[in-house]
A = this chain, B = another copy of it.
Amino acid sequence: MRSQKISQQSKVRITDSFWRKRMDIIRNEVIPYQWEALNDRLPDAEPSYAVQNFRIAAGESEGEFKGMVFQDSDLMKWLEAVAFSLEQDPDPELEAIADGMIELLERAQQEDGYLDTYFIVKAPDKRWKNLRDCHELYCAGHMIEAAVAYYEATGKEKFLNIVCRYADYIASIFGPEAQKLSGYPGHQEIELALVKLYRVTGNPRYLKLSQYFIDERGTQPHYFDVEKEVRGDHEQFWWKNDYAYMQAHRPVREQTNAVGHAVRAMYMYAAMADLAKETKDEPLWEACQALWQNVTRQKMYITGGVGSQAYGESFSFDYDLPNDLCYTETCASIGLVFWAWRMLRNEVNREYADVMEKALYNGTISGMDLDGKKFFYVNPLQVSPENITERQERAHVKPVRQKWYACACCPPNLARLIASLGHYIYSAHDQQALIHLYVGSEIELDLAGRQVKLSQQTHYPWDETVIICVTPDKAAEFTLALRIPGWCQKARLTVNGEDIQLKGCMKNGYVYLERLWRAGDQLKLHLAMPIERMRSHPAVRANAGKVALQRGPVVYCLEEVDNGNFLDQMVLPRDQALKCYFDKSLLDGIVVITGEAERAGRVSNETALYFNQGLSSDSLKFKAIPYYAWCNRDPGEMLVWIRER
C-alpha cells in the first residue's frame, strides 16, 4: 500500500477559539450522541437501525432491515467523523468502539466483497437493479471515504482493506467492457471517494472507475432508461421525468448550468474537480469552472446556502433565491465546502476560498445549535413561525432545530466536516505554503527540503488580526502565500514589524511572500472588518431594496427575541451608523451589531386591511447577531435581508 496522502493534512492542530469549541462539541457531544442514535438507544428519537442492520447482515441478529435504503451511510459518515476526530484528538476508547464496528462491517461483508445491508438483508435479488433510486453506490462511497479517513487517522488497514475488496468488486461490475454494466450512481458520492481511495492506495483502478462513472453519466442510450426497461418499470421519473434531478440529463462536460438535487450536484462537481486535477482533463476543468460561475454568481445565498427549492431539494433558475421558501440543506452547504476546496486546490484563487469560508461561517454551522444537540436540515434566511407551521409551501422549513431525523444525513455530515476542518486551512506544494483560512492552528510541512512549522494565533472571525509564526528547522527559502479575503477592502501585513506593499505581490487574491524564512519570523495580518451593508444583484427579486449586514465573513440576522416580531416592517435608513461590540456572554461569545431603525407603527386587528394613509413609524434600537447562531434562544422570527430606506 502506497500512501500518497498529503502530509500537512494529518498534522494540523486546531487551537482556534471559534472552531476548537465546535470540534470539542463534535467529539464530546455529537459523536457519542450519534453513536447512541445509530444503536437505537435514544429514548426520545426514532430508532436509526443502522448498526442493527449490519448485525443482521452479518447473521448475528434476527430481524428485518429497517430505515431508509441509504441507512448505512449515516453510520459511514459517523465513522468518518470519528476518524477525523481521532486524527485531531486521539481517544483510545472511541477508537475501540470504531474498531468494533469495523469488525462488524468485515463480518457483514459478502464473499464477493459486496457490503450494503439493505440489499444483503432485504432485497438480495435487487442488487444493482435500480441505480437511479437505490443509493447502493452512494453508500459504498461513504464507506470508502470513512475507510480512507480511518486509515489516515489511525494507520490501521482493516477498514481500508474492506473497502478495497468492495471497490474491486464494484470495478468488476461496472465499466466499458461488454460484460459489465454501463451504469453509474443515482446519487453521486462514490466518484470523489474513489479518488481518495486512489490517492491513498495508489491503485489506478479506483481512479479509472471514478472516471468511468463521471464519463458515462448522462450519455445515450440513457442507462436509467435501460435499467428501467429491464426492471419492467413504466412509471415516469417523479422529478418532471427529468434526470437533471441527478445531473444525468446530459454528459457532465456539457453541463454549465447547475440543476437538480443540490447535494448530488455538489458531490459530483467536487469529483469532477478531483478528476480534472488527477487526469489533467481540460474540458472537465472548464465544466467545473462554468458550473462554479453559475452557482456562485447566480444560485448561492449570501450564507453559502445552495439549492433554493424544496421540490427535489434542488437548484432553481438563476437568481431565484427566495428567503422564506428556500431549502438550502445543511448538507448542500457542506458539499459546497468540499467542492470549493477542490477548486482551490486546482487553482489558487481566493474566489474559491472566499466561498468555502462563507459556507463554513454561515450556512453549514447554522445547521447545528451551539450545544450540538439539535439540527436544521433546511436553513432559511427568513422565518416567521406561523408562516412555517400553517403554510404548506413552507412545510419543509422548521421553526426550531430538530433532534435526530429519520433521514439523518445532515448531523453526521456536519460532524465530519467540523472534525476535518484542519484539512481546509493550509496547502503546500513545491516551494510554496498557502494559508487559505484564518484559524488558530499549527501545522508542520515539508517545504524546500526543510521541516517548517506554521502557526496562527487569532480571535477570528471577531478580531481583525492574525499573527502567523514561521518556524523552519533551519533558515530556508520558500514562498508563503496568504489569502486576502474578498470581503476585505483594507488589509495590512507586516513581516517582523515591517510593512509589506501588498499590491506588488498579490495574485488572484493571495499575497505571495518569497524570501528566506528564519525561525522566529512573525507575520501580522490585519483584515479590516467594518460592518458592511451587502446588496444583491438586481435580478434577485427577493432582495430588492434590502441589505444584509456582514462583518468579515460573518453574515448577520435579526431575531425576534432581540427585536420583536414583524421584522419585515423594520427599515434601516441608508445613513444610519451601525456599531458593533464583542459580547462574550452572548451565544458563546459573538460580535453583535446594533443600530437604530424605523418600524411601521403597531396597529390592531381592528385596523382596516387596506387604507390610504401613511403608516406612522417608531424608532427601534435593533440588535443583529450572526446568522449561524440564530434559534439558540427563544424561538421566533428571523430575518437576514433587511429593508433599507
Contact = CB atoms under 8 A, between A and B. Distances in A.
Interface of A: 296-298, 300, 302, 309-312, 316-318, 320, 325, 384, 386-387, 390-393, 489, 532-541, 544-545, 548, 550, 566, 568-569, 571, 574, 600-603, 605-615, 643, 645
Contacts of A302: 609-610
A612 B535 contact: yes
Given A569-B544, A643-B545, A610 B538 contact: no
A612 B300 CA distance: 16
Contacts of A600: 538, 544
Contacts of A569: 538, 544-545
Contact of A316 (B296, B318, B325, B390): B390
A141 to B, nearest CB: 28
Contact of A535 (B390, B391, B602, B613): B613
A393 B605 CA distance: 29
Closest 3 CB pairs of A and B: A311-B392, A544-B568, A532-B612
Contacts of A390: 316-317, 320
A232 B310 CA distance: 35
A320 B391 contact: yes
Contacts of A318: 605
B297 A612 contact: no
Contacts of A541: 384, 387, 566, 568
A548 to B, nearest CB: 8
A602 B392 contact: no
B643 A540 contact: no
Given A535-B614, A544-B600, 17 more contacts: A298-B605, A309-B392, A309-B393, A311-B391, A311-B392, A320-B390, A535-B615, A537-B609, A537-B610, A538-B566, A538-B569, A540-B609, A544-B566, A544-B569, A544-B643, A548-B610, A574-B614
18 contacts: A297-B609, A298-B605, A302-B610, A311-B391, A311-B392, A316-B390, A317-B390, A320-B390, A384-B541, A393-B393, A535-B610, A537-B609, A538-B566, A538-B600, A538-B602, A544-B566, A545-B569, A545-B571
A107 B322 CA distance: 56
Contacts of A296: 609
Contacts of A607: 297, 537
A105 to B, nearest CB: 39
Nearest to A545: B643
Contacts of A610: 302, 534-537, 548
Most B Cβ at <10 Å: residue of A310, A610, A611: A610
A603 B296 CA distance: 16
B615 A538 contact: yes
A317 B392 CA distance: 11
A606 B539 CA distance: 12
Contacts of A533: 612
A370 to B, nearest CB: 26
A365 to B, nearest CB: 19
A533 B610 CA distance: 10
Contacts of A544: 566, 568-569, 600, 643
Nearest to A548: B610
B310 A392 contact: yes
